[in-house]
Amino acid sequence: MAWEKELFNYLHGGNLERAMERYDISLDRIIDFSANINPLGISPKIKEVIVKNIDQLSHYPDPECKEVKKVISGYFKIDYENIILGNGSTELIYLIVQTLKPKKVLIPIPTFCEYERALNNSNISINFYKLKEKQEFLVSMDEIIPQLPGIDLVFLCNPNNPTGTFLHREEILILVKEIQRRKIFLVLDEAFIDLHEEESFIKEVKNYDHLIILRSLTKFFGLPGLRIGFGVGSSKLIKELKIQKIPWSVNYLAQIAVREVLRDEKFISKSRSFLLEEKEFFYQELSNIKGWKVYKPSANFIFIKLLGNISSEMLQNKLAKKGILIRDCSNFRGLEEGKFIRVAVRTRKENIKFLKELKLILK
């Protein structure tokens, strides 16, 4: 199967270098719908602060990320000692596995493939909970809870990548109470929750010491090239993670960029309202196209099942020739090969171009 071949081969959305090589197109001709990044680009304040501080690159970055933690603590209203910064939330996925050393892990699939990659160790067994297409790929509490006995660690991505499904607080809470009671760790990956901030569990780690929240700081803020994310957990667990962590994984510019961007209320509120509106527009327009099923999105990307003869790979190739990159979801474990794609929400102009090219291809 495709995921076996590619799981360990850096196959993610947003791999522009590989796309440029594969389709022989230049970077300036690419519109990237394959990675779920804020299409408004980088806040001008970020550019300013980076240019102003380039000379500081001659010092090591603060390994403890103190100033960033203070800003995050203030912005999200969580305690300083519950926060750990990482080279993207991805570093923290690996760090959590190395620190907790789980023996048996439960992962609902399809989902972000780095959980499985991080568990690539002969001493760990993985139970996959295959989400059902007929249930719209939603995690069912009735189904997941009976699977918990014997498990040490659960990964749950909410909103889920690539399906875009979203579990509301009251449902997640059932799971959180259960893992707490059973002393099973739950990594709740909220990398795409920015449009539903009020539903985040980020403030709940003080009540549940087996809950760990992961957050990205680069998707919503349009800075994936910089690499920074954070985790929130009990102060005891955060201390244990720090012991295992490599010291300088978060570079200096990422640290100052985040300190700046979290103060940039204008950029944040503009991005949020833009993405909420554009996601709705794009979803409606995509839904009007025949020959596929469009899943209702809860984040800045849209999951689609192709129903006709065209395969996801064919569609990906045809669009790529027009400079449009999409995510063929064939290498997600738990998804039928050739049938599913994921498309990021971009600017109105880019989304319209996408719709136009798509209609020409499907005609």
Phi-psi region of 176 (alpha: psi -120 to 50; beta: other; left: phi over 0): alpha
Q: Which is nearer to a copy of itself, 55 or 142 (CB)?
A: 55
Site string for a copy of itself, 87-126 (x = CB under 8 A): xx-xx-xx---x---------------x---x-x------
Candidates 158-166, 190-198, 217-225, 316-324 — which segment interacts with a copy of itself by CB under 8 A?
A: 217-225
198 part of the interface to a copy of itself, by CB under 8 A: no
Residue from the set 223, 258, 320, 343 that interacts with a copy of itself by CB under 8 A: 223
For the bound state, the minimum distance from the C-beta of residue 234 to a copy of itself, rounded and expressed in Å, comes to: 18
- CA 188 to chain centroid: 11
Residue span binding a copy of itself (CB under 8 A) among the ranges 139-147, 164-172, 243-251, 302-310 = 243-251
Does the footprint of a copy of itself cover residue 251 (CB under 8 A)? yes
* Neighbouring C-alpha atoms within 13 Å toward the C-beta of 337: 7
**208 contacts a copy of itself (rule: CB under 8 A):** no
Segment (H or E) for 294: strand 292-294
The H-or-E segment that residue 156 falls in is strand 153-157
Give whichever of 60 and 80 is closer to a copy of itself, judged by the CB atom.
60
Q: What is the DSSP letter of 297?
A: P
| Angle (nearest 5°) at CA 126 between 120 and 127 | 160
Q: Record the tokens describing residue 168, joined without a space.
A: 């509301």
Residue 142 CB, nearest approach to a copy of itself (Å): 35
How do strand 125-130 and strand 324-325 relate by DSSP bridges? unpaired
The verdict on 243 binding a copy of itself (CB under 8 A) reads yes
Q: Is 80 in the site for a copy of itself (CB under 8 A)?
A: no
Q: How far is the CB of 148 from a copy of itself (least distance, A)?
A: 27
Decide if residue 55 touches a copy of itself (CB under 8 A). yes
Reduced to 3 states (helix: H, G, I; strand: E, B; else coil), residue 34 is: coil
Reading the block at residue 82, the tokens are 């519950």
**CA–CA dist 59, 109 (Å, integer):** 42
Sign (positive or negative) of CA dihedral 82, 118, 317, 135: negative
Question: Which residues 6+ apart lie within 8 Å of 170 measured at CB?
Answer: none
- The answer to whether residue 347 forms part of the interface with a copy of itself (CB under 8 A) is no
Size of interface with a copy of itself, in residues (CB under 8 A): 58
Within 10 angstroms of residue 128's Cβ, the number of other Cβ atoms is 16
Q: Does 135 bind a copy of itself (CB under 8 A)?
A: no
For residues 178 and 208, what is the distance between their CA atoms, to the nearest angstrom? 10
By CB under 8 A, is residue 336 in contact with a copy of itself? no
Residue 363 binds a copy of itself (CB under 8 A): no
Shortest distance, CB of residue 38 to a copy of itself, whole angstroms? Answer: 8
Alpha carbon distance 186, 55 (integer Å): 41
Which residues form the interface with a copy of itself (CB under 8 A)? 8, 10, 12, 14-18, 32, 35, 37-38, 41-42, 46-47, 50-51, 54-64, 66-67, 87-88, 90-91, 93-94, 98, 114, 118, 120, 222-227, 242-244, 246-249, 251-254
